[in-house]
Amino acid sequence: MESIWITDVSPRDGLQNQPKHLSTHEKLALIRLLVAAGLERIEVTSFVSPSAVPQMADAADLLSLVISEFPKLQSTVLVPNLKGLERARLAGASEISVVLAATDTMNRKNINQSLADATRNCQDTVRAAKAMGMRTRTYLAVAFDCPFEGVTPVPTLLALAQQMQAVQVDEIVIADTIGSATPGRVRDCLSVLGWAIPMNQLAMHFHDTRGLAVANTWAALEAGIRRFDASAGGLGGCPFAPGAAGNLATEDLVLMAQGSGFQTNIDLGRLLDVIEFAQHKMDRPLGGRSYSWLALQKQKGDLDPRGLSQGQSDA
């Protein structure tokens, strides 16, 4: 059975824009539940400015606790620049991500830099992280559409991916930041990127703003992608997409993948424990499109770890 690899981003991307702030130990409890569900790779936190993103002000403390309790967990953190990288290094980080928006306006709105300056910043940060022996990821944000400039041309995306590949980044994450991608566009985008970037170096990060995250994931799977970001319960969203439903829900991805013959090593029943915990702490309903059905199956005792009801066979 072929495997896919999932990075759950709920502790970072899921929490960073939430009005309710979780304590360090509440975040650690969330991560414990993710690990118990079988997640082997988690985006733990972000070393951005605490004044800009107060939800991530405890990044160093949280990462240190996670590394101490789960030394074998692939803990990845986001860093905005060399200063953030140094903070992450001191906290014990072994894997970092940088974010490069694919349009000039998005970079200026987000970090007050031009596209050219943002590209150099990301390249410098990746080079420095590689010199420290860290694994590195680059998010190419607004990869399909920018809320300020409209459609992102695929040749622009390819050029940025190649510039990051030139500094030997380990993974390039194509991020549908505002959730506007469609399966056809995913297919067309990857058909171009695949000529220059190995599929095993690419990952996808979908948002479910228009209800197409799972369909887009299937298109990426068919194109050869095996690495995906997702967030338990769909926790998260983009501040530039009002009404966005949040990230691709981890439970939706796992249910679809495991029901289609892919292995994830994630227990759906335990994943529901994560969502129930997050709902309680955030004081609002969460859950992807499959959550209600999964919760009902669990309540009836009919849910196996793959998401199949007990009367359902693999045949």
Position 305 in a domain: no
Number of Cβ within a 10 Å radius of residue 306: 18
Position 104 in a domain: yes
Position 12 in a domain: yes
For residues 10 and 29, give the distance between their C-alpha atoms in angstroms, rounded to a whole number.
12
Mean pLDDT value across residues 242-262 = 88
For residues 212 and 259, give the distance between their C-alpha atoms in angstroms, rounded to a whole number.
18
pLDDT at 242 (0 to 100): 55
Position 315 in a domain: no
Contact 114, 73 (CB under 8 A): no
32 half-sphere exposure, CB direction, 13 A CA radius: 11
* pLDDT single digits (tens) 149-187: 999 999 999 999 999 999 999 999 999 999 999 999 999
CA 278 to chain centre: 17
* pLDDT single digits (tens) 56-88: 999 999 999 999 999 999 999 999 999 999 999
Position 311 in a domain: no
Least confident of 76-80, 92-96, 272-276, 280-284: 280-284
For residues 70 and 38, give the distance between their C-alpha atoms in angstroms, rounded to a whole number.
12
pLDDT at 306 (0 to 100): 66
Domain region containing 242: 5-300
For residues 187 and 203, give the distance between their C-alpha atoms in angstroms, rounded to a whole number.
14
Predicted confidence band of residue 315 (pLDDT cuts 50, 70, 90): very low
Mean pLDDT value across residues 109-125 = 96
CA dihedral angle for residue 191, residue 196, residue 198, residue 204, rounded to 10 degrees: -50
Decide if pLDDT at 104 tops 60.
Answer: yes
* pLDDT single digits (tens) 192-224: 999 999 999 999 999 999 999 999 999 999 999
Decide if pLDDT at 305 tops 80.
Answer: no
Task: State the CATH number of the domain containing residue 281.
Answer: 3.20.20.70
Decide if pLDDT at 129 tops 90.
Answer: yes
Decide if pLDDT at 148 tops 60.
Answer: yes
What does the mean pLDDT of the chain come to?
94
Predicted confidence band of residue 5 (pLDDT cuts 50, 70, 90): very high
pLDDT at 70 (0 to 100): 98
Decide if pLDDT at 49 tops 80.
Answer: yes
Position 146 in a domain: yes
pLDDT at 97 (0 to 100): 98
Position 307 in a domain: no
* pLDDT single digits (tens) 223-246: 999 999 999 999 987 655 555 568
Q: Which residues pair with 139 in a beta bridge?
A: 99, 173
Q: Which residues are catalytic?
A: 238
* Count: domains in the chain: 1
Position 123 in a domain: yes
